[in-house]
Structure formats: C-alpha cells, structure tokens
C-alpha cells in the first residue's frame, strides 16, 4: 500500500511535469494573439494547429503517467514527436510561439533515457527544428520584418541560437523531478523493509525463547516416556509408574514455562520497547527523542503503553515520511499520558491507517483509558494515549 506521503509526492511530481504543457498553452496563446494583432496568421492555420496541440497534450499526459510507473511510453513518444513538428509548422514557429511545442516534447521524451541518449535526442531535435523555425520565420508574412541581408542574417542567427540553447537545456528539465521521485520511492521501500525486519527479528526472538525454555523439557518427556514403555514391557510396573510421574512433572513444568513465555511476549516491557523503537527509527533515518519521567510508569499501564508505542512506531515507518519523532511519557497519581509526535503527517483519515489503532483503542478501553490520533495544524501527527493509574492498595 502506498503511503500518503509517497502518494502526495507522486501527485506533486506529476503536476510539475505537466507544468511544461501549461507553459506551452500559455506561450501559444500569446503567439496567436500577437499573430492576429499583426495580421500574420489566420484561422485556417490556428484551428488545425490547436487540434493538433490538443492531441499532443493527451499524449503528453499519457507519457508523464508512464514515467511515474517506471515505463518508457515509446509509442506515445514516437507519435507525439512528428505531431509537435506538425503543430509548429502549421501554427507558425515564432521563437516564443508554436515552436515551443517540440521543446516540450523533448523535455519529456528524454526522461528515462541515458545521458548520452538524452544529449543525442536534444541535438537531433535542434537539427530538425532550427531549419523549420528559420523557414517559418522568414515566410511569416510580417510586414515589419526586415529585408536587408544583414538584418535577415541576424534574425536567422538569433533563431538558431535560441533553439540550440533550448535543445541543450530541455532534456534535463524534467529529469531532475523524476530523480527526486525515484529517491522518494527508494526511501519508502527502505522504511517498509525496516518494519518487516523488525517483525522478523521479533519472531526469531520468540522462537528462540520457546526453544530454550521448552525444548529441553519436551526432550526429557520423550526420553522418560520411552523408558516407561520399556519398563512396562519388562513388567516393572513400579519403575514405570515412577517414570510416568516424572513425565507428568516435566509436562507441567513445560506448560508453565510456555505460559510464562507467551505472557512475556504479550506483556511488553515499556523501557525495553522504547529503547528498541528508538534504535529502529534512527536506523530508518528518523531522529527519535525520548522524554521520560524520573519515576517509572505503573506496571499495568506500562504494559499497555508499550503496545501503543510499538504500533505508533510501525505506523511511522509504514505510513509517513517523518524525519523526527518525539515520545513523551508523564504520569501523576491519577493518570498516565503517552504522546508520540512526528512530522510525517498522513493525509488520509486516522481510521484508514490500519486496524492496529483500533486494537490499541480496545486495549486502552479495557483499562479505562482513551486513544486519540490526529494531524495538527502545524504539519505534525500526534498519537496520545491516556490511562488511569490504579490506586495503591491501602491508600
């Protein structure tokens, strides 16, 4: 599942890529108005050019979507290239007019290519566009256009220089934003891997505890049971009964140790959990700061708070783009408060983050507490758990 932070970054990058298309329409609009004002263009040229530009825009949107999906939209790029030249020639390729369309095509067609291929594509675009721009400029029909050879040569040089510079720059304009998007994806994948690693380590710890505490008892039970069978076959009933009595004792010991292991797994230690979570968050690039009271939290409340901290850290790793996390624990004689604050606000509602928070709410409700998780107006996300402190016996 894509986190809200990653989804938001994807939308920002996609809109940034499509800003080039917005600039095309703006520049073309200015060129059309200038052409009508100087009587150098007509509807017979503008209408087919606008239709071609609309089709080019549709292809452009498809290309940007493919870029974000790690695909190179070869068919759309091949189709939109000649179409951009058609729009340029039919509309009239003023330096800041319809000639901007092939540059927009170059800015998105170069994304996904190697550096050498992007340079070659820019050079090829310049070779094709410059002659077309020069011819269209000279044949534009502008009555104020100079006719002497020196002025014409200057105009040609200016057109050529403009397109050489633009074709050198445009292959790199959108590659930067796509590179940033790739970094965001890699960071999100790293957070998910860190969370999966934490879960795997916890499973290994539980398996190790079971093996160390219960495995010996079960091995002894197997040996004693086999010995009892042999004694029964040898008609030594008294010795067999003694062996089975020891088997029963071993089974009870194994059952007790198994229950203690499971209880220790289900009842977390708040101090140990805070230390472990701090290490995991900082390993994932999240600066974690603990603000703890000088007195320990009562055991009944601490066990619940440990689960809250674990779930909060899991959500930070999986569902946010946080760079900082502050964990605060405080308590009085009446109530204890746990607050987890991070700067990686998720856009979706809290209830959509997952079933973990719902389970934590049930745990806190069982001890008379409450859970509140919400974004703040300052760009942070706060999870706050409040639980009553049990009254001391004899107080």
Q: What is the DSSP string of 42-109?
A: -HHHHHHHHHHHHHHHHHHHHHHHHHHTT---HHHHHHHHHHHHHHHHHH---TTTTTHHHHHHHHHH
Report how far Cα 361 is from the mean position of its chain's Cα atoms: 27
Alpha carbon distance 332, 153 (integer Å): 86
Maximum C-alpha span of the chain: 128
Query: By the 8 A CB rule, do 88 and 52 touch?
Result: no
Alpha carbon distance 54, 170 (integer Å): 21
Q: Which residue has the higher pLDDT, 94 or 36?
A: 36
Beta bridge partners of 288: 325
Query: Quick one: pLDDT at residue 339?
Result: 93
Query: Quick one: pLDDT at residue 206?
Result: 67
Query: Quick one: pLDDT at residue 246?
Result: 78
Query: Quick one: pLDDT at residue 209?
Result: 64
Is 269's pLDDT higher than 50?
yes
Establish how many alpha carbons lie within 13 A of residue 12's alpha carbon, considering only the half-sphere containing its beta carbon: 10
Is 10's pLDDT higher than 50?
yes
Residues 296-322 have a mean pLDDT of 81
Q: Please state, rounded to an integer, the average pLDDT across all residues of the chain.
A: 78
Percent of the chain with pLDDT over 70: 80
Is 64's pLDDT higher than 90?
no
pTM: 0.49
C-alpha distances out from residue 95 to 102, 134, 137, 165, 166, Å: 11, 9, 8, 12, 10
* Burial degree of 116 (CB within 10 A; 0-12, 13-18, 19+): exposed
Residues 73-86 have a mean pLDDT of 90
Query: Quick one: pLDDT at residue 208?
Result: 67
Q: Which residues lie below 8 Å from residue 231, measured CB to CB, with a gap of 6+? A: 237, 239, 240, 243
């Amino acid at each position: 599942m894509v986190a809200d932070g990653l989804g938001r970054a994807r939308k920002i990058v996609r809109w940034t890529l499509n800003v080039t298309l917005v600039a095309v329409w703006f520049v073309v609009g200015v060129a059309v108005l200038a052409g009508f004002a100087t009587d150098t263009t007509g509807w017979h040229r503008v209408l087919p050019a606008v239709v071609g530009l609309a089709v080019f825009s549709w292809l452009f949107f498809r290309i940007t979507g493919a870029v974000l999906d790690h695909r190179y939209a070869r068919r759309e790029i091949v189709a939109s290239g000649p179409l951009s030249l058609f729009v340029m020639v039919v509309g009239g390729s003023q330096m800041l007019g319809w000639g901007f369309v092939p540059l927009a095509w170059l800015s998105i067609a170069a994304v996904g290519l190697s550096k050498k291929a992007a340079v070659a594509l820019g050079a090829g675009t310049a070779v094709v566009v410059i002659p077309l721009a020069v011819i269209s400029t000279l044949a534009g029909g502008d009555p104020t256009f100079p006719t002497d050879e020196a002025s014409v040569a200057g105009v040609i040089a200016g057109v050529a220089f403009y397109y050489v510079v633009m074709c050198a720059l445009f292959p790199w304009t959108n590659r930067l934003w796509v590179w940033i998007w790739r970094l965001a994806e890699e960071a999100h994948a790293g957070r998910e891997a860190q969370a999966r690693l934490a879960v795997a380590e916890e499973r290994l710890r539980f398996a190790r505890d079971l093996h160390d505490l219960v495995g010996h008892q079960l091995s002894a039970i197997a040996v004693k049971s086999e010995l009892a069978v042999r004694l029964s076959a040898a008609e030594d009933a008294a010795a067999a009964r003694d062996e089975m009595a020891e088997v029963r004792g071993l089974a009870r010991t194994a059952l007790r140790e198994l229950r203690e292991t499971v209880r220790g797994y289900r009842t977390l230690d708040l101090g140990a959990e805070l230390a472990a979570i701090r290490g995991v968050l900082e390993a994932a690039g999240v600066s974690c700061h603990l603000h703890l009271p000088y007195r320990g939290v009562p055991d009944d409340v601490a066990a619940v708070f440990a689960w809250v901290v674990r779930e909060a850290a899991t959500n930070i790793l999986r569902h946010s783009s946080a760079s900082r996390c502050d964990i605060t624990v405080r308590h009085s004689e009446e109530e204890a408060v746990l607050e987890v604050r991070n700067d990686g606000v998720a856009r979706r509602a809290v209830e959509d983050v997952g079933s973990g928070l719902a389970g934590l709410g049930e745990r806190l409700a069982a001890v008379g507490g409450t859970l509140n998780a919400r974004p703040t107006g300052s760009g942070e996300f706060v999870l706050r758990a409040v639980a009553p402190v049990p009254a001391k016996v004899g107080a």
